[in-house]
Amino acid sequence: MKNLNYVVLDFETANGSRTSPCSIGMVKYINGEKHSEYYQLINPEEDFYQSNIRIHGIYPEDVWDQPTWGQVYPSVMQFIGDLPVAAHFATFDINVFRATTEKYDITLPTNLYFCSCILSKKILPLPSHKLNIVADYFGLTFEHHHALEDSIVAANIVRELANIQRTDTISDLVDSIGYQFGQINGTNFITKKTNKKRA
């Protein structure tokens, strides 16, 4: 796995809006091994819902003196660099990234992204592919709904799936399930288009 390089990220949000991240966790893998971690509380500059607090345990007073996404963004991108980004249920996390970055009038990055949940669905014969279910399948324990813990487990899952598929790069892993990368500033993570032969 000399070329298995990627970053997995996870957000927790203050409310139901995609523009309300209150924490971000990230893990970087280089050559198939964990390289580094990143965790940061974020002031969403939005109200907190009790339902969200019950999920992640982050309160408004925990983030009052924390940086906003606009202030955190440079260090986030310094950590990610030009690597492909993954999330477990990327539809949520990548849209949080997109919406909040645009909220602060920042140009979206061009990084490729993929979804570890979709990878799991295509590779593992499980009744559910929620993060905790897939983690149990691989014998991984973690504190669910903590952004760093979730990203650590999802990053482990990506590595395990690459092992199962016998792929040495993220590109080959994505290709092995017939998908193509999404791009943070554009297209979504979708199945590859096939040219249908005319009858």
Q: Looking at residue 190, what is its pLDDT? A: 87
Does 35 map to a domain? yes
**Percentage of residues in the chain having pLDDT higher than 90:** 90
Q: Looking at residue 198, what is its pLDDT? A: 44
| Residue 97 belongs to domain with CATH number | 3.30.420.10
DSSP string, 43-82: --SSPPPHHHHHHH---HHHHTTSPPHHHHHHHHHHHHTT
Q: Looking at residue 191, what is its pLDDT? A: 86
**What does the alpha-carbon distance between residue 27 and residue 34 come to, in Å, rounded to a whole number?**
7
User: Parallel, antiparallel, or unpaired: how do β-strands 33-41 and 85-87 relate?
Assistant: unpaired
Does 92 map to a domain? yes
- What separation in angstroms does the CA of 182 have from each of 61, 164, 190, 192? 36, 22, 7, 11
Give residue 197's pLDDT band: very low, low, confident or very high (50, 70, 90): very low
As a whole number, mean pLDDT of residues 28-40 equals 97
Does 34 map to a domain? yes
As a whole number, mean pLDDT of residues 48-62 equals 98
Number of folded domains that form the chain: 1
At residue 126, does pLDDT exceed 70?
yes
Does 199 map to a domain? no
Range of the domain at 103: 6-191
At residue 124, does pLDDT exceed 70?
yes
At residue 145, does pLDDT exceed 90?
no
**Percentage of residues in the chain having pLDDT higher than 70:** 96
Does 49 map to a domain? yes
Does 196 map to a domain? no
Does 90 map to a domain? yes
| Phi/psi of residue 159, nearest 5 degrees | -65, -45
Residue 119 CB neighbour total at 10 angstroms:
26
Does 142 map to a domain? yes
**What does the alpha-carbon distance between residue 151 and residue 116 come to, in Å, rounded to a whole number?**
11
Please state the pTM of the whole predicted model.
Answer: 0.92
Q: Looking at residue 196, what is its pLDDT? A: 46
Residue 181 CB neighbour total at 10 angstroms:
18
More confident residue, 145 or 20: 20
Strands (E) located in the chain: 6-13, 21-30, 33-41, 85-87, 112-115, 179-180, 182-183, 190-191
